[in-house]
Structure formats: structure tokens, C-alpha cells
Copies of this chain bind each other. A is one copy, B any other.
């Protein structure tokens, strides 16, 4: 099994820049993909690019995403680009030029395949459990009709690029350090808040333990 080996380099995944450090191991790819559930899907329609946010899930070989907007353009086996980005901080340097962002991002290139039959149901489960672990067994599963109304694509995790930019600004040991200016990082983080019940919910339905965990995945 090739999972967790190295990410092979291609012309478009080769890393070109500096403070952004390219990562070449698959565990770095999975770390980025597992930290979120909304990606930006890029497709080409009539020669122009479209970028739409959409929900995704991953297993060891594929990234699965919902079709909707993209479906009409993807049925012919077209190339896509899926990007997942986490913003970790604003880097405030001594010079405007050295300002930047601390982030983790994964970019995946490939031709997705629309799933059918048992593959489709299995992918929907992966997607559901990725975004909301425990809901597949708790909520009502898709009916045949709902399944037919859903388009799920599988994108192989074969060609991917991972970049991580972290740490303080890069001008702490250059001539600008003499300016006597404050420099550092404003950390940023995506946090989850306590579950808010649907106003339509009757009294007496407690929040299940798995949903408490979705709201506080680190057990805080």
C-alpha cells in the first residue's frame, strides 16, 4: 500500500518558494486534510476557472466531494484542483515586504470519478464521518431517492502538494532588526462553540456524546 509513503514530485507540485516549506511525506498531507472539512474545488468551464467551497472527506486513497455546481462540468472526466487551507496566523514583520501568513495547505490535482452503487454509499459515509463523526450511525441514513439526488466524486490522492508556513517573521536577523519595531505573529485559530439546538427541537432531547465531541474535538 502506497499510503504514508512519499508524495512523488511532478512539474506542478514542485515547491518553488521559501518561508513556505514544502512537505513531501503523505502523513503531512493527511494532517492537513483531517484538520478541516471544507475545501475549495477548482474546475474549468468553457475555458474559465470556477472555484467553489464544498464539503469533503478522505480515506487513505481518495478525497470525496459533493458534486452540485461542479457535476455538469465533471461528468466528462475533467481535471480538477482541490485545495484545503488552514490559516494559523498573521506574520507582522519589521518591513511590509516580509509580512506574511502562517498557514497549512494541501493542493490535490487529478481527474475525479463520479461514484455509483455501493461505492457511492461508502463514500458518502466517509464524507459524513469525516465532517461529523458519529452522525452516520445516529441520524437517518440516505434513502434511495436521496442517494440518487446526490453526486459524489472520488479524487485519487496521488498528485498532491503540501505547504506549511510557520514561525516568526524572517527579518529578525537582518538590517531591519535595527529599526526597533515590534515584530511577531498574531495567531489565528478556527474554534468550535457549544452546540446550539434547533429551535424546532422538543424539550428533553439531550445532546448526544458524539455531538459534544464534534463541538469540542480536543476534549476541551
Contacts and interface: CB of A to CB of B under 8 A. Distances in A.
A220 interface: no
A171 B29 CA distance: 35
30 contacts: A37-B90, A38-B103, A40-B51, A40-B85, A41-B51, A42-B50, A43-B49, A53-B85, A55-B100, A90-B132, A90-B214, A94-B140, A95-B146, A96-B135, A96-B136, A99-B131, A140-B179, A168-B200, A172-B198, A180-B205, A182-B201, A182-B205, A182-B206, A182-B207, A183-B197, A183-B200, A186-B193, A188-B190, A189-B191, A190-B190
Interface of A: 12, 16-17, 37-38, 40-45, 47-53, 55, 68-69, 79-83, 85, 87, 90, 92-97, 99-101, 103, 105, 107, 109, 124, 128, 131-132, 135-136, 138-143, 146, 150, 168-169, 172-173, 176-177, 179-202, 205-208, 211, 214-215
